[in-house]
Amino acid sequence: MSEHVSEAGESGSPYRDGERLSVVANALELSQVSKTFGGLRAVGGVTFNVPERSIFGLIGPNGAGKTTVFNLITGVYRPDTGTIRFHNQELSTLKPAQIARAGVARTFQNIRLFGQLTVLENVLVACENRRKAGLVSALLRSQRFRRDEAEMNQRALELLAIFELDKMADETSTSLSYGNQRRLEIARAMMLEPKILLLDEPAAGMNYGEAEGLKKQIRWLRDRFGLTVILVEHNMQVVMGVCEQIHVLDRGETIAHGTPEEVRKNPKVLAAYLGEEVDGEGAQASREEAAS
């Protein structure tokens, strides 16, 4: 695995400020991961490493297999071939709930909240696996159960306060606005106390200002909780602004990997789709360059 570490080092230090150690351990290592649905090769031999405490972008045009990679990491699908290692623990044989308990949290592209549950309850479900009091003490309403509940409530409300949702704790989650539902999903994922957070298109439907806010929030979450963040995103403003490394997929295959600057200039990426997304004449010029 040391080979992978040096590889990550070559593609530019994950930390632009250079204050931290140059050699960092990987939080997640995907090696030759493939998944086929019927005759469709959704993901074909994808390999990448995500350094610990980095913000890592996974981009590509529609149907590139980004969400499938997320589903493979979180165990929703099982890879046909390849290995997925998370802090030296093999994930590809585990069930989704086990992977979540190992410290992998995620949000969903098409928001998946527990609709009829309140905002607070949505977050509380995520600490169900840490609950010390069992079913019997819940039935007896024992001291331990009540202390457990109080602690969990407190923790959940703190998290909701971070996402400015604490005032709506008792509303059902379906009554929230779209943006708040997205934030609630992140809050729920954070309640799991994860080591790595997978965000699937968090900026979808956000305007310029909100996307700027999101960038700040992602960095802040990483620093505050010592997280590793993987981001699937179409919004280039967010991806280019916040990610330290970017991995580009097209039709299930890796076409590029590197820092935002490197990826931005990569002709293959531009050919695949990036050219129209990046504003400014530079991109326009380089696209023409790539085409010629």
Residue count, binding to other proteins (CB under 8 A): 76
Tokens at 282, concatenated? 């530079």
3-state secondary structure of 69: helix
Q: Choose one: 23-31, 33-41, 134-142, 281-289; the region binding other proteins (CB under 8 A).
A: 134-142
Burial class (CB in 10 A: 0-12, 13-18, 19+), 133: middle
Q: Which is nearer to other proteins, 32 or 207 (CB)?
A: 207
DSSP H/E element including 248: strand 245-250
Q: Which is nearer to other proteins, 64 or 189 (CB)?
A: 189
Q: Which is nearer to other proteins, 183 or 257 (CB)?
A: 183
Tokens at 201, concatenated? 């298109």
Exactly one of 114, 253, 255, 271 binds other proteins (CB under 8 A); that residue is 114
In angstroms, the Cα distances linking 24 to 12, 32, 211 are 12, 22, 29
Task: Please say whether the dihedral angle defined by the alpha carbons of residues 255, 73, 117 and 157, taken in this order, is positive or negative.
Answer: negative
Exactly one of 40, 220, 285, 291 binds other proteins (CB under 8 A); that residue is 220
CA–CA dist 34, 92 (Å, integer): 11
Q: Which is nearer to other proteins, 150 or 285 (CB)?
A: 150
Exactly one of 216, 261, 279, 282 binds other proteins (CB under 8 A); that residue is 216
Kindly write down the DSSP assignment for every residue of 168-229, as one continuous string.
Answer: GTTSBGGGS-HHHHHHHHHHHHHHT--SEEEEESTTTT--HHHHHHHHHHHHHHHHHHT-EE
Residues in 170-209 at the binding interface with other proteins, rule: CB under 8 A: 170, 176-180, 182-183, 188-189, 191-192, 205-209
Residues in 14-73 at the binding interface with other proteins, rule: CB under 8 A: none
The CB-of-82 to other proteins minimum distance in angstroms stands at: 21
Exactly one of 24, 69, 91, 162 binds other proteins (CB under 8 A); that residue is 162
The CB-of-262 to other proteins minimum distance in angstroms stands at: 28
Report the candidate in 254, 169, 219 with the shortest Cα–Cα distance to residue 246.
Answer: 254
The CB-of-90 to other proteins minimum distance in angstroms stands at: 18
Contact present, 252 and 62 (Cβ < 8 Å): no
Q: Which is nearer to other proteins, 97 or 291 (CB)?
A: 97
The CB-of-17 to other proteins minimum distance in angstroms stands at: 18
Q: How many residues does the chain have?
A: 292
Residues in 87-106 at the binding interface with other proteins, rule: CB under 8 A: 95-98, 100-101, 105-106
Exactly one of 16, 20, 112, 147 binds other proteins (CB under 8 A); that residue is 112
DSSP H/E element including 121: helix 119-125
Exactly one of 3, 18, 21, 139 binds other proteins (CB under 8 A); that residue is 139
